[in-house]
A and B are shown apart, each in its own frame.
Chain A
Amino acid sequence: MNENILKIEDLVVAFSMYKSGSFKKENLEVIHSLSLDVNAGEIVAVVGSSGSGKSILASAVLGLLPKNAVTKGSITYKGEPITKERQKDLFGKEIAFIPQSVDYLDPLMKVGKQVKGVFGTDERRKELFEKYRLDESAAGKYPFQLSGGMARRVLITGAVMGNPDLIIADEPTPGLDLEMAKETLDHLRSFADSGAAVLLITHDIDLALNVADRVAVFYAGTIVEVAPTADFLAGKDALRHPYSKAFIDALPQNDFKPIPGTQPYAGNLPKGCLFSDRCPYKDSACDADQPEREIRSGKVRCVHAS
Chain B
Amino acid sequence: MLLEANNISFRYTEKSPLILEDVSFKVSEGERIGIVGPSGYGKSTLAKILAGYEKPTSGEVKLDGAPLPMKGYCPVQMIYQHPELSVNPRWKMVKTLNECWEPDDSFLEKMGIEKAWLKRWPSELSGGELQRFCIARSLSPETKFLICDEISTMLDVITQSQIWNILLDTAKERNMGMVIITHNLALAERVCTKIVKVKEL
Interface residues of A (CB under 8 A from B): 47-52, 147-149, 174-181, 203, 205-206, 246-247, 250-253, 256-263
Contacts and interface: CB of A to CB of B under 8 A. Distances in A.
Q: Tell me which of A49, A205, A246, A262 has the highest count of chain B C-beta atoms within 10 A of its own C-beta.
A: A262
Contacts of B96: none
B157 A203 contact: yes
A50 B159 contact: yes
Interface in B109-164: 112, 114, 126-129, 150, 153-162, 164
Interface string B2-40: 000000000000000000000000000000000001111
A175 B157 contact: no
Contact of A258 (B114, B126, B162, B185): B162
B23 to A, nearest CB: 19
Contacts of B150: 175
A149 B126 contact: no
A178 B154 contact: no
Nearest to B182: A252
Given A203-B154, A252-B189, A256-B165, A180 B160 contact: no
Contacts of B114: 262
A92 to B, nearest CB: 27
Contacts of B165: 256-258
B186 to A, nearest CB: 4
B38 A177 contact: yes
A206 to B, nearest CB: 7
Contacts of A259: 158
A253 B161 contact: no
A205 B157 contact: yes
